[in-house]
Structure 1
Amino acid sequence: MAATAAYDEIADWYEGEFLPRTSADDPLGIDRSLRDLLGPGDGRCVEIGCGTGVHAASVRALGWTPFGVDISAGMLRHAQGRLACARGDAGRLPLGDGSVDAAIAMMVHTDMPAYPAVLREVARVVRPGGVFVHVGVHPCFCGGFADRSDPDAVVIRHGYADGHWTKESWTDQGIRDKVGANHFPLAELLNAVLDAGMVPERFVESGGQAPVVLAFRARVQPVNGRS
Structure 2
Amino acid sequence: MTSYDAIADWYETTLVPSWQADPLEFGPMLRDLLGPGTGACLELGCGTGAHAERIRQLGRTPLGVDVSAGMLRHAAARLPVVRGDAVALPIATGALPAVVAIMVHTDMPAYPAVLREAARVLAPGGVFAHIGVHPCFCGGFADRTDGRAVVIRPGYREPGWTMESWTDQGLRDKVGATHRPLPALLGAVLEAGLVFERFAEGGAPTPTVFAWRARKPYAERPHR
Fold match, TM over 0.5? yes
Matches within 5 A, 1:139-218: 139-218=135-214
Within the alignment, does 1:83 sit opposite 2:58 as a pair? no
Matches within 5 A, 1:1-227: 4-21=1-18, 23-222=19-218
- Structure 2's unaligned 5+ residue stretches are none
For 1:101 and 1:85, locate their aligned partners in 2 and report how far apart those are by CA, in whole Å.
Answer: 17
For 1:162 and 1:181, locate their aligned partners in 2 and report how far apart those are by CA, in whole Å.
Answer: 13
Cα deviation, 1:2-49, whole Å, max 9, x if unaligned, reads xx101000000000112112x021011122211221111011110000
Give 3-state SS (helix, strand or coil) of 1:127's partner. strand
For 2:146 and 2:73, locate their aligned partners in 1 and report how far apart those are by CA, in whole Å.
Answer: 36
Conserved in 2, the CA contact under 8 Å of 1:53 and 1:78?
Answer: yes
Question: What TM-score, normalized by structure 2, do the two folds share?
Answer: 0.96
For 2:189 and 2:220, locate their aligned partners in 1 and report how far apart those are by CA, in whole Å.
Answer: 18
Conserved in 2, the CA contact under 8 Å of 1:40 and 1:64?
Answer: yes
Aligned partner letter, 2:165: S
For 1:133 and 1:178, locate their aligned partners in 2 and report how far apart those are by CA, in whole Å.
Answer: 26
Aligned length: 222
Give 3-state SS (helix, strand or coil) of 1:58's partner. helix
Cα deviation, 1:133-162, whole Å, max 9, x if unaligned, reads 000010000000000000111100000000
Aligned partner letter, 1:10: I
Give 3-state SS (helix, strand or coil) of 2:132's partner. strand
- Structure 1's unaligned 5+ residue stretches are none
Give 3-state SS (helix, strand or coil) of 2:56's partner. helix
How far apart are 1:209 and its partner, in Å? 2.9
For 1:103 and 1:166, locate their aligned partners in 2 and report how far apart those are by CA, in whole Å.
Answer: 27
For 1:18 and 1:156, locate their aligned partners in 2 and report how far apart those are by CA, in whole Å.
Answer: 25
Moved more, 213-222 or 185-194: 213-222
Aligned partner letter, 1:8: D
Give 3-state SS (helix, strand or coil) of 2:201's partner. strand
For 1:224 and 1:144, locate their aligned partners in 2 and report how far apart those are by CA, in whole Å.
Answer: 43
For 2:171 and 2:97, locate their aligned partners in 1 and report how far apart those are by CA, in whole Å.
Answer: 30
Identity value in percent: 63
For 2:163 and 2:155, locate their aligned partners in 1 and report how far apart those are by CA, in whole Å.
Answer: 13
Conserved in 2, the CA contact under 8 Å of 1:26 and 1:32?
Answer: no
